[in-house]
């Protein structure tokens, strides 16, 4: 891709599909890894240069914005990814343009209303009007980022959005470091990344010809976003809501909790990259009536994730104290205590990603089912938070989040297993065994020297690879085949 392709506005009706599934997956993964490292860099910079209290203020502001955009903009981006890809699969140019026109109109309206709604919420949390405005600008920026990313993935322009996303986000991080060194503190620290996201949204906006969608298509799109938003709000929104729950414990407590969250979340980039590629790919398959392709992609997606993430999450949980100290320095011991709990939640959330993609790309019923399951997970998390009260501290906050995420993940995996009748019995037993061993390693080796813990993790990884050697061969074969779906 040359500079001209980056500077030229995106034209949905002229964008060719890009490469094989594996190529798109690797491009997506590299982009999300870079993006995740940049987001982590934001929290590390604030934590190291300004301290836990300012990190708490920034993290709570970011959580407010990121939670609110789940009410529409985030799922609007997912809808763009799905329905643009479906229109491309059906080779329907009119529908392609109509989908883009309808969704961008809805996005602009929703982002404006949510930005206004964030102001009284921020004021109620104790921010002054300027701080509330900073949160609103950040909300506007991340809403545009989520939507334009979905548009690019749905239209096949993955490399373009990855390059621009990383470039603008890196500029935002550099600007943040500059203002930190200049002595800026508080919610004003949200402005550098917020303005970078706004600029990114303008550069990646779909400037396609306007074409009004017919009534049936508008109803389908709005229904998808509505029910998808309910599910996303209750599932993906759990982590943002948990930060806001921790905020009630004080700025320092939420700073410690946010530090652990921001160390744990980058690990979801593996499943996030897979989702960004699998979702439009599955929608393409649905558009051409190829249900077997969806089944194959679902199977290899779950097997590949389980093969990869169990040893990675185990290692991260076992060496959690060293990870926290390396990232944030001294004074964040409470973060190391909750990090393994958050990693357990991530295990269920990541394994559920291909299942959710398959269920929601299949038909509208899948959207509704996942919305109900997500609301059930939200209720369970809330019961844990209410039952533990403030006495449980951030450990109780993390436990509630893990309980809710576990319920949602188990439902998605079980439902996909039932719908597609995939042979996952041995896989489920292996996952249960691997998880039990990982928990034992974390508990039993907590007081052991670092070298001993690393050695135990290396042996576990070797044993896991031997146990799952069938999956290693299967995933490798699918990758060589460039599995298109």
- Report CA-CA distances (Å) from 40 to 36, 88, 122, 262, 263: 6, 35, 23, 6, 7
Task: Annotate 11-35 with DSSP letters as a single string.
Answer: -GGGPPP-S-HHHHHHHHHHHHHHH
Q: Please, are residues 374 and 229 in contact by the beta-carbon 8 Å criterion?
A: no
CA distance 434 to 461: 10
Cβ count near 482 (within 10 Å): 11
Q: First and final CA of the chain: distance in angstroms?
A: 25
Q: Tell whether the model's pLDDT for residue 60 goes beyond 70.
A: yes
Task: Please check whether residue 231 lies inside any domain of the structure.
Answer: no
Residues 240 and 217 in one domain: no
Band of the pLDDT at 296, cuts 50, 70, 90?
A: confident
φ and ψ at residue 17, rounded to 5 degrees: -65, 155
| Residue 289 in domain | yes
Q: b vs e for 208-233, b when ≥16 Cβ sit within 10 Å of the residue's Cβ?
A: beebebeeebeebbbebbebbbbbbb
Q: Is residue 131 part of a domain?
A: yes
Q: Could you give the CA distance from residue 109 to residue 370 in angstroms, rounded to a whole number?
A: 25
Indicate whether 244 and 202 sit together in one domain: no
- Are 318 and 421 part of one and the same domain? yes
The per-residue pLDDT for range 454-472, each reduced to its tens digit, is: 999 999 999 999 988 888 8
Asked if residue 349 and residue 240 are part of one domain, the reply reads yes
Statement: residue 484 has pLDDT above 50: no
Distances (CA, A) of 256 to 122, 325, 401: 20, 12, 16
From the list 175, 205, 178, 166, the residue with the least C-alpha distance to 193 is 175
Residue 172 domain-assigned? yes
Encode pLDDT of 369-421 as tens digits: 988 898 899 999 999 999 988 888 999 999 999 999 999 999 999 999 999 88
Instruction: Determine which of 45-54, 65-74, 451-460, 469-478 has the lowest per-residue pLDDT on average.
Output: 469-478
Q: Are residues 484 and 455 in the same domain?
A: yes
Residue 260's domain spans which residues? 236-485
* Polymer length in residues for the chain: 485
Backbone angles phi, psi at 10, to 5 degrees: -70, 130
Whether 364 is in a domain gets the answer yes
* Domain C-terminal end among 223, 255, 271: 223
pLDDT at res. 143: 96
**pLDDT reported for residue 275:** 62
Judge if 418 and 484 occupy the same domain: yes
pLDDT digits (tens, 9 = 90+) for 228-254: 888 777 677 899 899 999 988 988 999
Q: Is the same domain home to 187 and 132?
A: yes
* Whether 200 and 243 share a structural domain: no
Residues 175 and 260 placed together within one structural domain of the fold: no
Residue ranges of E strands in 271-407? none
Q: What is the mean pLDDT of residues 21-47?
A: 78
Contact partners, residue 474, CB within 8 Å, separation at least 6: 300, 303
- Asked if residue 80 and residue 21 are part of one domain, the reply reads yes
Give the position of tokens 């959330």: 349
Q: How many domains does the chain have?
A: 2
What is the mean predicted confidence (pLDDT) over 204-227? 88
Q: Is residue 358 part of a domain?
A: yes
Note whether residue 445 is domain-resident.
Answer: yes
Kind plus residue range of the DSSP H or E element containing 316: helix 291-318
Asked if the structure places residue 228 within a domain, the reply is no
Summarised one tens digit per residue, pLDDT across range 113-145 is: 999 999 999 999 889 999 999 999 999 999 999
Which two three-digit tokens encode residue 207? 């400037």
Q: Within this chain, do residues 186 and 240 fall inside the same structural domain, yes or no? A: no
Residues 95, 11 share a domain: yes
CA 444 to mean position of chain CA atoms: 31
Question: pLDDT tens across 161-190, in order?
Answer: 889 999 999 999 999 999 999 999 999 999
């Amino acid at each position: 891709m040359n500079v001209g392709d980056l500077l030229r506005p995106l034209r949905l009706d002229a964008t060719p599909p890009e490469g094989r599934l594996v190529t798109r997956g690797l491009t997506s993964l590299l982009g999300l890894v870079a993006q995740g490292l940049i987001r982590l860099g934001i929290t590390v910079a604030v934590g190291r240069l300004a301290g836990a209290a300012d990190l708490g203020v920034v993290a709570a502001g970011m959580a407010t914005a990121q939670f609110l955009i789940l009410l529409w903009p985030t799922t609007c981006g997912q809808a763009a990814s799905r329905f643009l890809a479906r229109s491309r699969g059906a080779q329907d140019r009119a529908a392609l343009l109509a989908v883009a026109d309808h969704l961008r109109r809805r996005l602009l309206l929703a982002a404006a209303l949510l930005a206004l709604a964030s102001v009284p919420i921020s004021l109620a949390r104790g921010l002054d009007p300027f701080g509330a405005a900073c949160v609103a600008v950040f909300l506007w920026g991340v809403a545009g980022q989520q939507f334009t990313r979905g548009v690019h993935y749905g239209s096949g322009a993955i490399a373009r959005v990855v390059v621009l996303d990383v470039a603008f986000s890196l500029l935002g991080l550099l600007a943040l470091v500059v203002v930190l060194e200049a002595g800026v503190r508080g919610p004003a620290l949200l402005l550098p990344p917020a303005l970078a996201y706004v600029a990114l949204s303008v550069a990646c906006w779909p400037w396609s010809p306007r074409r009004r969608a017919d009534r049936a298509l508008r109803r389908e799109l709005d229904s998808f976003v509505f029910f998808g938003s309910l599910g996303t709000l209750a599932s993906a929104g759990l982590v943002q809501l948990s930060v806001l729950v921790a905020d009630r414990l004080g700025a320092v407590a939420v700073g410690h909790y946010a530090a652990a969250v921001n160390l744990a979340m980058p690990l979801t980039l593996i499943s996030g990259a897979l989702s960004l590629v699998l979702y439009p790919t599955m929608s393409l398959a649905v558009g051409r009536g190829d249900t077997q392709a969806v089944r194959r992609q679902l199977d290899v997606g779950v097997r590949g994730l389980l093969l990869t993430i169990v040893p990675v999450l185990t290692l991260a949980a076992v060496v959690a104290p060293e990870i926290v100290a390396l990232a944030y320095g001294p004074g964040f011991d409470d973060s190391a205590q909750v990090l393994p709990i958050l990693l357990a939640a991530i295990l269920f959330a990541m394994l559920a990603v291909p299942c959710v993609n398959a269920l929601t790309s299949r038909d509208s019923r899948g959207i509704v089912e996942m919305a109900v399951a997500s609301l059930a997970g939200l209720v369970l998390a809330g019961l844990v938070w209410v039952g533990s009260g403030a006495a449980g501290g951030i450990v109780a906050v993390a436990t509630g989040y893990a309980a809710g995420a576990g319920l949602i993940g188990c439902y998605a995996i079980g439902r996909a297993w039932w719908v597609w009748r995939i042979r996952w019995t041995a896989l489920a037993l292996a996952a249960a065994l691997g998880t039990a061993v990982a928990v034992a390693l974390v508990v039993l080796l907590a007081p052991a020297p670092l070298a001993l813990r690393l050695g135990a993790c290396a042996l576990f990884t070797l044993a896991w690879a031997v146990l799952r050697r069938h999956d290693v061969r299967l995933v490798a074969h699918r990758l060589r085949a460039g599995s298109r779906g």
